[in-house]
Amino acid sequence: MDVVDLIRSKRDGSVLHDDAIDWVIAAYTRGEIAEEQMSALLMAIYFVGLTAPELNRWTAAMIASGERLSFPGLGRPTTDKHSTGGVGDKITLPLTPIVAACGAAVPQLSGRGLGHTGGTLDKLESIRGWRASISNEEMRTQLRDVGAVICAAGGGLAPADRKLYALRDVTATVESIPLIASSIMSKKIAEGTSALVLDVKVGVGAFMKSRERARELATTMVGLGTAHGVNTVALLTAMDTPLGLTAGNALEVAESLEVLAGGGPSDVVELTLALAREMLAACGLTGGKDPADAIADGSAMDSWNAMIRAQGGDPAAPLPVSPHQHSVVASATGRVTRMDALAVGVAAWRLGAGRARKEDAVSFGAGVQMHAKPGDIVTAGSPLFTLHADDETRFDRALDALAGAVDIAAADADWSKPALILERVGG
C-alpha cells in the first residue's frame, strides 16, 4: 500500500478500508512509515474524523499491535475504571480495594501525571517500597489472591498507542475525539477486563471543558468498548472544583486512607461509591456486598493493605512530608463560592507534585492542602490553603497560580451545591 494515497484519501474525506487501517498501524509501529507521513494522516483525521466502523477498526489494529491480556480461572469477574484526569482525583486509590472487597477482580493499569493532573502511579510510589512495574504472571497471581492490582502497563500492551500518543503530543492533534478514544480504549480493551466504567471529567480543571465535548467522548468510548466485547458505561463528572481537600502525591494517599477508614471528604466518598457500584453492576455483581459496607466492616482497608504489600510496599510506613509549608489565608469573611480546579492543579505542579516532561522526577510530599471548599464559611485571615514544597523557591510561582482562584461572597449569599455526577452514558 502507499501511505501517501491513504493520507490523500482521508484528507479528501474518504473512508479508509479495513486492510488499509490494519496496514498503516502495523507498518507505523514497525517503523516503516515516516513520522511526517503519520503526522499528516493524524492531522487529516483531526479535521475529517473517523466513521464508527473506521474507529472500531483503528482501535482493533492498535490492540493487535501488541499482546492482549486475559485472566481466566480467577473465580471472580473482572472490572476496571478509567478517569480522563482531574485535580485531586485520587479516586482509583480507595476505589480499587473497595471493589475487590466486594468480590470483583480489578486489573487497574494506571499512568503517571503530566502537567496539572496527577498520576496514580506517582501517588502510590510515595509509599515506601511499592513498585509500579510487575510481570503479567505477578498480575494474574495478585488478582487471584488479592483481587486488586494497580500497576503500570507493560511494554507489550498496545505499543502502537505509545508511538501515536507521543506523535499527537507534538503535532497539535491531541484534541481529536476519535484519537483520544482509540488511545484510551485500545489499552483498556487490551488489558483484558470484561467490564469498564469511564469517569469522564468536564470543567475548567479537566481536559474536556464543555459538557457537550465530554458527552461526545464518553459516547464514543462506550461504543468502542461495546463493539469489542467489553461491557462499558460512563459517568460525566464535574471538575470545576478540585476533588477532595488535597492535590499532591502523598497528600492524596493520606486522604484516600481516610476514605477507606470511614472518613474523608464527602465528594471523594460520593464519587468513589458511585463508581464502585457501577463497576460491580457492569461485571454482574449485584445484590452482594455494598461498597459502603466494605468500608464500614474494614474489608476495603484489608484489601488495600494486601494490595500494597503484594507489590512490595509497606502500608504502615509514614508517608513523605515536604519540609516547607506556606499558608494562604482568606482575604475576607464570607462564603466561598468558587475554587478554580485548574489553578489549584497548576499550583501543585509548580510546587513539585507534577512534571513538565515524562522524564522529570516528582516530589512525593509536595502539593496543595485545601482548608475550605465552595459552600464553606471562612473568616478573614483564616487559612484557605497550605502549600507544601521541598524547595521554598517554588512558593512564589505557586502563589501566582492561585491568584484569583477563590471567590468569597457575603455569608448570606445565595449558593447551591453543584452536582458532582452530571450524567450517565451507556448501559
Q: Which of 234, 164, 232 is nearest to 199 (CA)?
A: 234
Residue of 81, 140, 162, 168 marked active site: 168
Contact indicator for 96, 148 with CB cutoff of 8 Å: yes
Please name the helix (run of DSSP H) or strand (run of DSSP E) that holds residue 148, with its range, or none. strand 148-152
Residue of 183, 194, 256, 363 marked active site: 183
Sole residue written with cell 482501535 = 59
d(CA 216, CA 83): 15
Contact indicator for 86, 199 with CB cutoff of 8 Å: no
**Chain-centre distance of CA 31, in angstroms?**
30
Report the alpha-carbon angle 68-57-133, nearest 5.
25
Mark whether 123 is an active-site residue.
Answer: no
Calculate the alpha carbon distances from 137 to 151, 154, 224 in Å.
13, 12, 27
d(CA 148, CA 301): 12
d(CA 80, CA 82): 7
Mark whether 161 is an active-site residue.
Answer: yes
Mark whether 355 is an active-site residue.
Answer: no
Residue of 80, 89, 161, 199 marked active site: 161
Mark whether 168 is an active-site residue.
Answer: yes
Calculate the alpha carbon distances from 297 to 13, 31, 101, 145, 267 in Å.
57, 53, 10, 20, 21
Mark whether 382 is an active-site residue.
Answer: no
R_g (Cα) of the chain, nearest Å: 22
Sequence-distant (≥ 6) Cβ neighbours of residue 279 within 8 angstroms: 79, 80, 81, 95, 99, 104, 106, 195, 197
Residue of 57, 81, 82, 116 marked active site: 82
Residue of 57, 81, 187, 215 marked active site: 187
Q: Cell triple for residue 225?
A: 468498548
The residues annotated as belonging to the active site are 82, 161, 168, 183, 187
